[in-house]
Amino acid sequence: MPDIPVGSQIFDLVFHPTHPTVYAGLLNGSVKAFRYDEQGQHEQTFSIRPSKRSCRCVATNEDGSHLFAAGKAKSIFTIDTTTGTVTSTRSEAHDSPINRIKHLLPSMFCTGDDDGVIKLWDPRRTQEIRRYGHHFDFISDFLWLGDKKQLISTSADGTLSAIDVRGKKLEPLAQSEDQEDELLSIVAIRNGSKVVVGTQLGILSIFNRSQGWGDCVDRVPGHPQSIDALCAIPSSYPSSHSTVLTGSSDGLVRAVQLFPTKLLGVVADHGSFPVERIKVDQNGEGRWVGSAGHEDTLKMTDLNEVFEDESHDDEDNADAQSDEEVGPDMEGAGEEKDHSADGNEVLLSVMEAVSGDESQDSEGPKEKKRKRKGNKDTLVGKKKGRNEIEAEASFFSGL
């Protein structure tokens, strides 16, 4: 699809839950809507400027009938997506500019500002439900865990926090230790059992929900600059349970598989402009991914073209694995089980090879890996298990 010109720098974007429509919040304070089709054609459906100050964040309600917009004006505007008009305004909703907004439940949405304040709102009321002030730097991103009714927030103060929206306490349910890095983006993988956080230093920090929110359990280095945006891919793709789209300050949108760690490819290139937002249409299950940088265009990429080769490769690998399992060599089956059991150890070897860590802790796993591999110099596993590693030791070096 051709890039969609919007006339100003894009701060945030969101897709309609069911219709092929995308909304963009712009630096000049405007909110614009564009309808697109399967052939890549697009047209503007409405443009409104509720404030002269920048619109930093936008979010739709559950059915897409209303759009919430906020930004530097510190106010929250509710826009009717059918008519393109402002239906209500919450003036001075925050004491500082609002940086993030997210719809949670039919009767609740949340906002986060530059001072780290988080507020919960009922769309039917003008005053907030609750206010949280445990962060002291800007709120960079939100993640909604519907199964536990928990709101996860990331902040530039280096911490992640979990809020139970059903409770009445003005304190978070949990807050992580200081990660000594700005946390900029967040996304859930593996059916919500793990959470991936993008950082200022270009590291993907992985949190395991079953082990709490105190600290990350894995760190995947490799991106040359900050990871400002994260997004999951549609569940229809074979590797969706462990693959994320990353938007970095170097202008590239990448598809990165985490279990095992593998760079699948570059999805979009924004040149020298940092990538601030990534979203997939149809509630994350669609065909198009929209990405926005500091340029005045919205880039739309067809995911089917990006991942079509992966589907064929996955089928071929599955057939090869099936042939090995039915063979008489039971020793090979046992070896496959060992690879699966040592998945975390192999992943650690890859991450340490990428980061160039020469500490004593990193030598142990790499030595064991070389023993299994013989005298080979590359981290390549036998194609017998699902956790196989097919990556050079410097597979991230070209990023």
**For residue 290, what pLDDT is reported?**
96
- Decide if 309 is inside a domain: no
Is a pLDDT exceeding 50 seen at residue 192? yes
- Decide if 183 is inside a domain: no
Position with higher pLDDT, 119 vs 364 = 119
Is a pLDDT exceeding 90 seen at residue 228? yes
Integer Cα distance of 11 and 25 in angstroms: 6
Number of domains in the chain: 1
Position with higher pLDDT, 247 vs 390 = 247
Is a pLDDT exceeding 70 seen at residue 343? no
Mean pLDDT lowest among 53-62, 114-123, 190-199, 339-348: 339-348
Looking at the DSSP bridge assignments, the partners of residue 45 are none
Integer Cα distance of 204 and 244 in angstroms: 10
**For residue 399, what pLDDT is reported?**
52
User: Checking DSSP bridges between strand 139-145 and strand 194-199, what pairing results, if any?
Assistant: unpaired
- Decide if 26 is inside a domain: yes
- Residues 231-240 have pLDDT tens digits of 999 999 988 9
- Decide if 104 is inside a domain: yes
Is a pLDDT exceeding 80 seen at residue 146? yes
Is a pLDDT exceeding 70 seen at residue 201? yes
- Decide if 180 is inside a domain: no
Summarize the confidence of residues 263-271 as an average pLDDT: 93
- CATH number, domain with residue 48: 2.130.10.10
**CA-based max dimension of the chain:** 73
Burial 222-247 (b: 16+ CB within 10 A, else e): bbebbbbbbbbbbeebbbbbbbbbbb
Summarize the confidence of residues 354-373 as an average pLDDT: 38
**For residue 310, what pLDDT is reported?**
55
Burial 164-183 (b: 16+ CB within 10 A, else e): ebeeeeeebbebbeebebbb
**For residue 259, what pLDDT is reported?**
87
Mean pLDDT lowest among 56-65, 243-252, 279-288, 300-309: 300-309
Integer Cα distance of 69 and 91 in angstroms: 12
| Mean pLDDT, rounded, of the chain | 83
Is a pLDDT exceeding 60 seen at residue 377? no
- Decide if 77 is inside a domain: yes
- Decide if 50 is inside a domain: yes
Summarize the confidence of residues 108-135 as an average pLDDT: 96
Band of pLDDT at residue 394, cut at 50, 70 and 90: low
Mean pLDDT lowest among 21-25, 107-111, 205-209, 378-382: 378-382
**For residue 393, what pLDDT is reported?**
47
Looking at the DSSP bridge assignments, the partners of residue 206 are 196, 218
Report in angstroms the alpha-carbon separations of 227 from 135, 206, 272: 20, 13, 15
Is a pLDDT exceeding 60 seen at residue 98? yes
- Decide if 358 is inside a domain: no
Structural domain that includes position 73: 8-133
**For residue 43, what pLDDT is reported?**
95
Summarize the confidence of residues 238-243 as an average pLDDT: 91
**For residue 282, what pLDDT is reported?**
94
